[in-house]
Amino acid sequence: MQNESQLIKARKEKLQKLIEMGVNPYPAKAKRTNLIADILAESEKFIKEEKGVVLVGRIRSLRKMGKVSFFHLEDKSGKIQIYIRRDDVGENNYTIFKQCDLGDFVNVFGKVFYTQTGELSIHTEKFCFLTKSIRPLPVVKEIEEEGKKVFYDQFVDKELRYRKRYLDLLLNPEVKETFITRSKIIKMMREFLDNKDFIEVETPILQPQYGGAEAQPFITKHNKLDMDLYLRIADELYLKRLIIGGFEKVYEVCKDFRNEGMDRMHNPEFTMIELYQAYADYNDIMNLVEEMLTEIAKEISGGLQFEYDGAQIDMTKPWKRASIISLIKEYANIDIEKMTLEEMIDFCKQNEIELEIKTYGKIIDEIFKHFVEPNLIQPIFVTDYPKEISPLAKSKPDNPDIVERFEIFISGLEIGNAFTELNDPIDQRARLENQTEKRKLGDLSANEVDEDFLEAMEYGMPPTGGLGLGVDRIVMLFTNSHSIKDVIFFPQMRSV
């Protein structure tokens, strides 16, 4: 792009001029005595003591005049105005300063004072380059009007924001806040679980056989071993091996990979927290996750009420708990338990619900998605799913077709999935073999039988409750983000 090189050329010329003047534009060392926030917080003290301060940061606005200039310096803690006068720093140094552009990193030595217009500033005594930038940042101007920040020419192109996240972070301050919140949430989850004597573990991302969820995997290859490996779609089967191995409470913060569609709720790689607790069932897990998420809400949102996507969410305990069948009764006005398969298929036809697979479990799932899911705004545990769509969960004692499983929905987002884990090796083998049958019939999301996992279970797995939480979606909820792309630094994009 010729025009771009025109802008870059101008900066490279300045760089050259600095070198000719004997200035190192990329020195190895920087000095700093204070964070900018320190000065903003205790400005009066700094002014009174007339103590020199040394600041580092990046030039974020620049007003050059003939013999005096102003710019704003930004470090991680904040922004402050810098005042620099030719007669204070000398002709030569002022010429050096004039080679500055927006985006350069500089070292400023000076004293704190107020300008005539009343803005706290640094009166520069000495000035050094730390990094000369040769590519111009997009121009965004910012002013404060009645206490509110108003932006001009804001950097809004979503594609550029996702592809060049470093620019998005620099130019849209709320983006940084979102990711700081993300970090806090994950930290709190770890602390919460650590305090309950869970231990954090790591299990393979590269797996010879994938499982633990219904999804298509990414396939890769180990050259020396000459074998195909899969990027994990879930951690479940390995974490259960650890329970078999004697750990009683384990969790993993895990990147999982699913080779399927992308939309505002799905990114090919995403973050889950999976946890397993021996001698617990799905009721215990419900209590655990309810406590964890309400604690996070208190900390992050400052209370149990907050807004998401235009709706007021109230996380006050206890959350509603209702079986999928009772919810269908409530919202679709039908009693699944008293209907035959034929009647259910008819019902779907009447309501224009398309069925690809006409089995009991699948139909219940479809009716639920159509009638119930859109109504689930407030936090709710949807419980007791059909066995057919839950091959790793234990059946209810009173109904072999229903399993002890729940999903958490908040504001229509499915943010968690949990069950009382199936620990009967004979039943587990039958269910996994049934999956293989489905796969042979063309269901690419169904898994192959993991013989090693079954063998492990044959040695004995204690009764266990397990949970998978969609971390990205939880972050979306607490940061009022509409798309998963807004809570992942570098979301997957097509190559250009």
Partner RNA sequence: GGGCCAGUAACUCAGUCGGUAGAGUAUCGCCCUUUUAAGGCGAGAGUCGAAGGUUCGAAUCCUUUCUGGCUCACCA
In angstroms, give the least distance from the CB of 105 to RNA. 16
Distance from first CA to last CA of the chain, Å, rounded? Answer: 16
Q: Report d(CA 382, CA 249) in Å as an integer.
A: 24
Q: Is 19 in the site for RNA (CB under 7 A)?
A: no
Q: Report d(CA 465, CA 284) in Å as an integer.
A: 8
User: Which of 21, 139, 311, 341 lies at the binding interface for RNA (CB under 7 A)?
Assistant: 139
Q: Is 283 in the site for RNA (CB under 7 A)?
A: no
Q: Is 332 in the site for RNA (CB under 7 A)?
A: no
Q: Is 82 in the site for RNA (CB under 7 A)?
A: no
Please identify, among the stretches 148-156, 314-322, 331-339, 434-442, the one whose residues bind RNA according to the rule CB under 7 A: 148-156
Q: Are the C-beta atoms of 476 and 487 separated by less than 8 Å? A: yes
Residues in the chain: 496
Name which of residues 173 to 212 contact RNA (CB under 7 A).
none
Looking at residue 277, its amino acid is Q
Q: Is 101 in the site for RNA (CB under 7 A)?
A: yes
Name which of residues 212 to 271 contact RNA (CB under 7 A).
213-216, 258-268, 270
Q: Are the C-beta atoms of 284 and 259 separated by less than 8 Å? A: no
Looking at residue 117, its amino acid is T
Dmax over Cα atoms in the chain, in whole Å?
A: 92
Please identify, among the stretches 45-53, 138-146, 192-200, 425-433, the one whose residues bind RNA according to the rule CB under 7 A: 138-146
Q: How many CB atoms lie within 10 A of CB 134?
A: 18
User: Which of 50, 197, 354, 398 lies at the binding interface for RNA (CB under 7 A)?
Assistant: 354
Q: Is 482 in the site for RNA (CB under 7 A)?
A: yes
Q: Is 3 in the site for RNA (CB under 7 A)?
A: yes
User: Which of 65, 225, 227, 441 lies at the binding interface for RNA (CB under 7 A)?
Assistant: 65
Please identify, among the stretches 119-127, 333-341, 393-401, 428-436, the one whose residues bind RNA according to the rule CB under 7 A: 119-127
Check whether the bond before 217 is cis (ω within 30° of 0). no
Q: Is 350 in the site for RNA (CB under 7 A)?
A: no
Nearer CB in complex with RNA: 258/387: 258
Q: Are the C-beta atoms of 366 and 306 separated by less than 8 Å? A: no
Name which of residues 290 to 319 contact RNA (CB under 7 A).
none
In angstroms, give the least distance from the CB of 140 to RNA. 6
Nearer CB in complex with RNA: 456/473: 473
- How many chain residues are in contact with RNA, going by CB under 7 A? 77
Cβ-based neighbours of 179, under 8 Å, separated by 6 or more: 169, 487, 489
Please identify, among the stretches 84-92, 176-184, 190-198, 340-348, the one whose residues bind RNA according to the rule CB under 7 A: 84-92
Q: Are the C-beta atoms of 109 and 54 separated by less than 8 Å? A: yes
String marking each residue 414-433 x if it binds RNA according to CB under 7 A: x-------------------
DSSP states of 19-44 as a string? HHTT--SS-S----S--HHHHHHTHH
In angstroms, give the least distance from the CB of 351 to RNA. 12
Report phi then psi at 59, rounded to 5.
-75, 120
Q: Is 73 in the site for RNA (CB under 7 A)?
A: no
Structure tokens at 413: 């987002």
Give the closest residue to 446 by CA, choosing from 211, 233, 254. Answer: 211
Q: Is 159 in the site for RNA (CB under 7 A)?
A: yes
Q: Is 81 in the site for RNA (CB under 7 A)?
A: yes
Nearer CB in complex with RNA: 157/291: 157
Check whether the bond before 318 is cis (ω within 30° of 0). yes
